[in-house]
Structure 1
Amino acid sequence: MSNPLLAEWNTPFNLAPFDRIEDAHFEPAFDVALQEARADITKIAENPEKPSFANTIEALEASGEALDKVLSVFFSVAGADSTPKRQELQRSFGPKLAAYSSEVTGNKKLFQRIKTLWQVQDDLDLTDEQARLLMLTRRRFVRAGAALDGEADQRMRQIMARLSELGTKFTQNLLADEAGWFMELDDQALENLPEFLISAAREAGREKGVDRPVITLSRSLLVPFLQFSSRRDLREQAFRAWAARGAMGGETDNRAIAAEILQLRQERAQLLGYDSFAAYKLETEMAKTPERVKDLLWQVWTPAKAQAEADAETLTQMMQADGINGALQPWDWRYYAEKRRQAEHDLDEAALKPYLSLDAMIDAAFGVAHRLFGLEFKPLDIALYHPDCRAWEVTRNGRHVAVFIGDYFARASKRSGAWCSAMRGQAKRPHVQGPVVVNVCNFAKGDPALLSYDDARTLFHEFGHALHHLLSDVTYESISGTSVARDFVELPSQLYEHWLEVPEVLEKYARHHQTGEAMPPELLDKMLKAANFDQGFQTVEYVASAMVDLAFHEGDAPSDPMDKQRETLENMGMPQAITMRHATPQFAHVFSGDGYSSGYYSYMWSEVMDADAFAAFEDGAGAFDEEQAKALETHILSRGGSADPEELYIAFRGRLPGVEALLKGRGLVA
């Protein structure tokens, strides 16, 4: 066939033939694939045979194969390498996919087949995984409104279609604001900036088509600028632009979009019989209720705020010593915190970066995975969706496991943040090779690319998500890999960050990019001792965002989310010099889709577990304890969503953890 998205992929590892795929292929392929998916659903629902697990649940698993192929490619490139055409297609596809999803879950004959199987499940002789899949399928249909009739059913379809439109628009507005702003730096502005930052700013300038170095709203450029620039006026200008994303007025303003999303979510929850969207959303998470989430967040907030306020006093004194009177401002915090870190820990981040090259940190992430799980990584020379992308074949004991793709550099066409996705998930199916897993980051480009310690942690974090996909070993794709409760999904990623702090890992991989010399022991020691530096600030900005997210969804939807944000922060006693990590108009976790709505707390919930889980290694034979690594793979990484997450964690650790290890790990308690 002429459209490569609809043809058989006779490519290495059945990867998408990116060198033959053009934007013009997406829409016709989508239309054909969507039609085929609808036909699959009709065939299952209209099947005259008695419902069975095979002809209903497994048939649902296998349905829409062509649509999955088309969308896996499209959404991968649309998020990481956007174009006006791809944005237009996102706006077009979103409502159509929402309508299709509503058609599936609203198909009364199909739902009746699922209900019938649910009612006779004890007679079906199902495996534990099949029983879990049946439960999750029924629950997904019920929570999507399958049991609704008449006007309620129609209204739910309208809500889901509109939410899809709004989420896409929110994302594209944010991308437009981020791509449209940059600040040129003259020679005076470059004074006192470290060379790595100047180099990255020059590269950003070339990408923007200007002759001078520039600061963009890419976090990998903006945060170092706020840390190192002695120009308070420019720090303020850059910070205000960063804080204004999504709230600049005009067509890209996200405030009205956020308000409508919250209203529709509340209506959706009430149609399904819940008092609030938070109650609806948290029912299927480990936390279960908003009250349990708030209990965790307040336990962390109190010591974090106390630490942040004490730190603010110190930083204010440093600022006043520079002759600047008045209150410490958000654009001052990182600058004086960096000076304090250098003074107290004698640690200069610019001195660290030559030892943290991107290539070395990739090797480190791979090396740890080899020691823990026996994985091997071989570079591949294949066509990918962008020249910056790199790929590796993952094997174990000579057997193909997966293909891993890394897309590491910031660019104007890429949305902000970092994420992991699977172009093809793991499942036990004939004639299909293993998963295809993608890590996307936004590191500043350089020659070579040098990372901050936070950048390196991000790389390890996203690779932890990748391992959840790579080591998945279940039968059905819909419960493989990261298809788990939102407040469990961050456990593997945050746990993997701990290995970046293992001295023997850094001694082996943290080597100077020019000389190859290992990081000097004294510098390594300073870096590890400074790992918890400024945790009051980091914890406060995170918990504030999580609290606001929960407040948005816990009761009646606010008519003005910005007022609700202000009210929530005031009630918490938010320190004046710290802002939310993600203010409402740019809170893509919450408003670009339902993924983290009422669930931004998940990182903290998972951190409670990851601190306890790494302690299992430390209490055993150390970071590379073979028995613990095997248990981690057996009970968590290989199981996906095939069992309840509490069961999986208890199987690994023998119990559920408390908050103490988290507070100690962040240095918030002695």
Structure 2
Amino acid sequence: MNNSNPLLKEFEYAPFSKIKTEHFKPAITQAIEMARKEIETITNSEKNPNFQNTIEALEFSGNQLDRVTSIFFNLNSAETNKEIQEIAQEVSPILSEFRNDIILNKALFERVKAVFDKKDKLELSAEQQTLLDKKYKAFARNGANLPAEKQEELRKIDKQLSSLSLNFGENVLAETNKFELHVTREEDLKGLPESFKEEASSVAETRGKEGWIFTLEYPSFLPFMKYAENRELRKKMALAFGSKAFHGDELDNRENVLQIVKLRYKRAQLLGFKTHAHFVLEERMAETPEKVNGFLEELLEKAKPAAQKEFKELEDFAKELDNIDRLEKWDAAFYAEKLKQRRFNLDDEKLKPYFKLENVINGVFEIAGRLYGIQFNEVTDIDTYHPDVKTYQVNDEDGKPIALFYADFHPRPGKRDGAWMTGYKSQYVKDGKQERPHISIVCNFTKPSKTRPSLLTFNEVTTLFHEFGHALHGMLADTTYPSLSGANVYWDFVELPSQVLENWCYEKEALELFARHYETGEVIPMELVQKIKESANFHEGMATLRQLSFGLLDLSWHGIDPTGITDVKTHEDKAFEPTKLYPDVPENCMSTAFSHIFQGGYSAGYYSYKWAEVLDADTFEYFQENGIFSREIANKFKSVILSRGGTEHPMTLYKRFRGKEPSPDALLKRAGLLKK
């Protein structure tokens, strides 16, 4: 081990304060060599291959590399800079090459295959069987059975893909950071809440300018679109947001999109699959693109009439209110908010004082405690990568430590948009020792101002609960093998723990625990809780149509042969046709900033959000039947779903928990799209 590089020493917690940017590349290079030696030991063993000396040994190899790369790539998402981005471009192809060196190692594959071929005689546990299947498929599905020249082609494709994906993400981040709407006249702020104006004023101040500055970061962009009465400025913001990486300049992502989808298709074909979607979905609950399309079409059929009715109502409302003849995309949030206020007398600004960030965090901790008997204690002696990051020791009912939890809540220039859960250390059991996980959630919520704490919109509250649901999946993991632990499950199952937790945000019993006015301490009035519940299905048809449009766009890129596609925008417009409500905006293109599928892991998988909604509605119905804080159902959910990770097929786990397969009816009923 290198004594001067903190990443190459043994460490329990990520040593952020000791890491310098120049440590990363040597640490990754050296950790690859260490992992390579471990692989060589397995491959060159003179002992006959068995489950322990081949499959388990392979599973636990490269631990140091995993920890170093998780730190590095998490920082590249949450606290990046030019140097880190350059290193990412350098090391990604090297890592891709190393992964291929393992997958395409003939002698190693022969050992894995020898164990796989006699699996029926091995008396393995369900978890061991899953691990064996997963290891074998990792080779077979990624070229181990290909002849040498095709393996070489695969290596080239993987190298290109890792670089293109990084480049795509860097362009989106650069575009987000580049734009600012600088407002100097007070009258242009009409409609905007005082707290929001104050935040924009402080942004301008930090940039050395007079007036107010609005950006494309969500806490700035979304309220502006919802409240700004100046239609021209809304249009300016919407065009900037919708045209990210679509300007024909050095940050344009069109070529990246076309190259990525064509390389993914070529890769799938090389491996004997019809399309990239066929390759991906073989390892998903949905199984085939045909099944996914059928699922999306079924929901589209139910949601479209409701969405069209809602859209017509919104058009009429905008006409009546402001004589708007043609409703545009930059009018959507503004008039929807006005209509919602009229119908329910409910607006985010009325709710925000009850959702002080610290209270919501304590609330989600309290709910997790009531359901799963866990406790969270803030600790200040754990290294973090930014002063905003908080750390918590998580203990079980007996006070025994079960996880470390990092939380990073506010936007900054080095952080990508959105919200996500990740980890710095996996949970597993090795040599009889239980290793507990280090889990992190990263969000982009409004920062505290000079006069107010960070107050969340209701949408931000549900986002926090969502990511915390993912975190629980990681924190409550109890498996033997790291690759089957926590959120390492099929991607159309991974959203169940996150989406199901959002349901508690709408329940009186849960809201009373944390929704208190930040100045008076008053518990949220029951009429507001009632209005939150009543408004939960507001524009549900349009919201469903929007989600379906993203799923259909994803499949349109990955479920076909894309080699004939030459124009990104034309292709996208065609994919959006069945779900289209608003007039098209020629300047805008979603694909060029669709990071979930071109930078994240959701390619051929965006449908997962709706798929998991079926599971979560069905699951929450079970809780409601028994009480939302039922320890019996919570224990069952914890022991059968949360703690088991990917140790068995998700449908097997789900049926064990629920006693039956999930039905879409619970979702359609909850969304008000099913006649009761």
Q: Secondary structure at the match of 1:409?
A: coil
Q: Deviations over 1:449-492 (max 9, x none)?
A: 11111100000000000000111110000100011101000011
Q: Which amino acid aligns with 2:473?
A: H
Q: Deviations over 1:189-216 (max 9, x none)?
A: 2232112322332343345443432111
Q: Structure 2 stretches of 5 or more lacking a match?
A: none
The aligned counterpart of 1:136 is: 134
Choose the corresponding residue for 1:120, options 118, 143, 150.
118
Match among 17, 22, 25 for residue 24 of structure 1? 22
Tell me the distance in 1 between the aligned counterparts of 2:537 and 2:157.
44
Deviates more, 1:286-295 or 1:211-220: 211-220
Letter in 1 for 2:393: E
Moved more, 178-187 or 367-376: 178-187
Residue 36 of structure 1, aligned match among 34, 37, 51: 34
- Report the alpha carbon displacement of residue 433 of structure 1 after superposing the two structures with TM: 4.3
1:74-85 superposed matches below 5 A: 74-85=72-83
Instruction: Indicate the SS of the match to 1:420.
Output: strand
Show CA shifts across 1:606-625 (max 9, x none).
Answer: 100100000011112x1011
CA distance, structure 2, for counterparts of residue 76 and residue 525 of structure 1: 39
Quote the sequence identity (%). Answer: 38
**What is the DSSP-based 3-state SS (H/G/I as helix, E as strand, rest coil) of the residue aligned with 1:367?**
helix
For the pair 1:150 / 2:148, whether they are aligned, the reply is yes
CA 489–208 in structure 1, closer or farther in 2 if over 3 Å, else same: farther
Cα distance change, pair 411–209 in 1 and its aligned pair in 2 (3 A): farther
Q: Give the Cα separation in 2 of the matches to 1:127 and 1:656.
A: 24
Trace 1:183-198 onto structure 2 (pairs within 5 A): 183-186=181-184, 187-198=186-197
1:259-295 per-residue CA deviation (whole Å, 9 max, x = no partner) reads 0111111111111111111111111100001111111
1:345 equivalent to 2:382? Answer no
1:375-434 deviation per Cα after TM superposition (whole angstroms, max 9, x unaligned): 000001022011110010000111000000000111111111110011111111356741
Mapped to 2, the partners of 1:260 and 1:385 lie a distance apart of 34
Counterpart CA distance in 1 for 2:556 and 2:171 is: 24
TM superposition shift of 1:507: 1.6
Residues 538/569 of structure 1: CA separation in 2 closer, same or farther (3 Å cut)? same
Contact residue 548 and residue 579 of structure 2 kept, 8 A: no
Letter in 2 for 1:391: T
How far apart are the structure 2 equivalents of 1:193 and 1:35? 56
CA distance in 1, matches of 2:650, 2:322: 54
Secondary structure of 2:519's partner? Answer: coil
* Range with greater deviation from structure 2 (491-500 or 30-39): 30-39
Query: Post-superposition shift, 1:573?
Result: 4.8
Matching residue of 2:616: 610
Inter-partner Cα distance in structure 1 for 2:195 and 2:650: 42
Alignment partner of 1:273 is 2:272: yes
1:442 and 2:433 equivalent?
A: no
Tell me the matched-pair count. Answer: 663
Equivalent residue number for residue 451 of structure 1? 456
Is the CA contact (8 Å cut-off) linking 1:481 and 1:638 kept in structure 2? yes
Does residue 502 of the first structure (1) align with residue 501 of the second (2)?
Answer: no
The secondary structure found in structure 1 opposite 2:463 is helix
**Counterpart position of 1:392:** 392
Q: Is the 8 A contact 1:196 1:350 kept in 2?
A: no
Normalising by structure 1, report the TM-score.
0.96
SS at match of 2:394: strand
Please give the alpha-carbon distance, in whole angstroms, between the structure 2 residues aligned to 1:224 and 1:567.
Answer: 30
Q: Distance in 2 between matches of 1:403 and 1:205?
A: 37
| Aligned CA distance change for structure 1 residues 564 and 342 (closer, same or farther; 3 Å) | same
User: Are 2:363 and 1:364 equivalent residues in the alignment?
Assistant: yes
Are residue 564 (structure 1) and residue 571 (structure 2) matched? yes
Give the aligned partner of residue 408 of structure 1: 409
Structure 1 pair 578/130, CA: closer, same or farther in 2 (3 Å)? farther
Cα deviation, residue 122, structure 1 = 2.4
SS at match of 1:485: coil
**TM superposition shift of 1:230:** 0.4
TM-superposition CA deviations, 1:619-641 (whole Å, max 9, x none):
12x10111111110111001000
3-state secondary structure, aligned to 1:250 = coil
Contact 1:545 1:583 in 2 (8 A): no
From 515, 518, 521, the equivalent of 1:516 is 521
Select between 643-652 and 303-312 the one with higher mean Cα deviation.
303-312
8 Å contact 1:541–1:578 — kept in the other structure? no
Equivalent-residue separation in structure 1 for 2:108 and 2:492 (angstroms)? 30
Aligned to 2:652: 647
Q: Deviations over 1:21-78 (max 9, x none)?
A: 1111111111111111111112211112111111111111221122112112111111
Counterparts of residues 3-14 of structure 1 (less than 5 Å): 3-9=5-11, 14=12
* 1:34-183 paired onto structure 2 within 5 Å: 34-183=32-181
Partner letter of residue 227 of structure 2?
Answer: F
Change (3 A) 1:579 1:34: farther
2 CA distance for matches of 1:388 and 1:271? 46
CA distance in 1, matches of 2:207, 2:502: 33
Deviations along 1:74-122, one digit per CA (max 9) or x if unpaired, are: 1111110111111101111111111111111000000000000011122
CA distance in 2, matches of 1:546, 1:207: 39
| Structure 2 counterparts to residues 481-496 of structure 1, below 5 A | 481-496=486-501
Whole-angstrom CA distance in 1 between matches of 2:14 and 2:579: 51
Q: CA RMSD in A?
A: 1.6
Where 2:492 maps in the other structure, the secondary structure is helix
CA contact (8 A) 2:246 2:589 kept: no
Label 1:325 to 1:378 Cα distance change in 2 as closer, same or farther (>3 A).
closer
How big is the shift at 1:326? 2.6
Give the corresponding residue for 1:542.
547
Q: Which residue of 2 aligns with 1:253?
A: 252
What is the DSSP-based 3-state SS (H/G/I as helix, E as strand, rest coil) of the residue aligned with 1:454?
helix
* Residues 585 and 636 of structure 1: CA distance in aligned 2, closer, same or farther (over 3 Å): same
Contact 1:205/1:212 (CA < 8 Å) preserved in 2? yes
Partner of 2:595: 588
Report 1:619-658 matches (<5 A).
619-620=625-626, 622-658=627-663
How far apart are 1:307 and its partner, in Å?
2.0
Q: Conserved in 2, the CA contact under 8 Å of 1:226 and 1:334? A: yes
Unaligned segments of structure 1, at least 5 residues = none
Match of 2:429, SS state, is: coil
Question: Could you tell me whether the CA contact under 8 Å between 2:393 and 2:404 is conserved in 1?
Answer: yes
Alignment partner, residue 428 of structure 2? 427
In 2 relative to 1, CA 665–205 (structure 1 residues): closer, same or farther, beyond 3 Å?
farther
